[in-house]
Amino acid sequence: MGDPMRIRAQAKDGNVLVRILMSHEMESGQRKDASGKIVPAWWIQEVTAKLNDKQVFSCEWGPAVSKNPFLEFTVKGGKAGDKVSVSWKDSKGDTRTDEATVS
């Protein structure tokens, strides 16, 4: 299982602003190590987010996304006290899910 994400969710004017910082190497598969061997690709492929068990966000990523990616989006509706849960799945099949409460 990957390292924990840092999720912040803030309610403002009837919307919820979600900011997520993920901890991941995001290897593109284009880099070579010190001995000249290609570092195998390893990146987050799918990201989904739920607001109180209802899916509100999903995306597919490629290897061009940076290391330790930062993602921000706004969800219509939602209020303080709601639960935001974010999951990712990477190219090795590893997954990670973290939760935060909307403040």
Partner 1 sequence: MTVHKLAAAAAALGLIAATTVAIAQKTSTEAIEEYREMLQDGNPADLYEMKGEELWKKARGPKNASLEKCDLGLGAGVTKGVFVQLPRYFADTNQVQDLESRLVTCMSTLQGIDPKEVINGQWGKGERANATALATWVAAQSKGMQFHLPQSQPQERIAYEMGKRAFFQSGGSHDFSCATCHGEEGKRIRLQDLPNLTKNPGDGIGFAAWPAYRVSNGQMWTMQHRLNDCYRQQRFPEPTYGSAITIALGVYMGVNAQGAKSAVPTIKR
Which residues of the shown chain bind partner 1 in the complex (CB under 8 A)? 3-4, 6, 19, 21, 23, 66-68, 70, 72
User: 24 vs 50, which CB is nearer to partner 1?
Assistant: 24
Distance CA 8, CA 17 (A): 8
User: 70 vs 94, which CB is nearer to partner 1?
Assistant: 70
Closest distance to partner 1 from the beta carbon of 71 (Å): 8
Contact residues for 76 (Cβ-Cβ < 8 A; gap 6+): 14, 15
Closest distance to partner 1 from the beta carbon of 10 (Å): 12
Closest distance to partner 1 from the beta carbon of 53 (Å): 26
Beta strands in 1-103 (DSSP E): 6-12, 15-21, 44-51, 54-60, 70-76, 83-90, 95-101
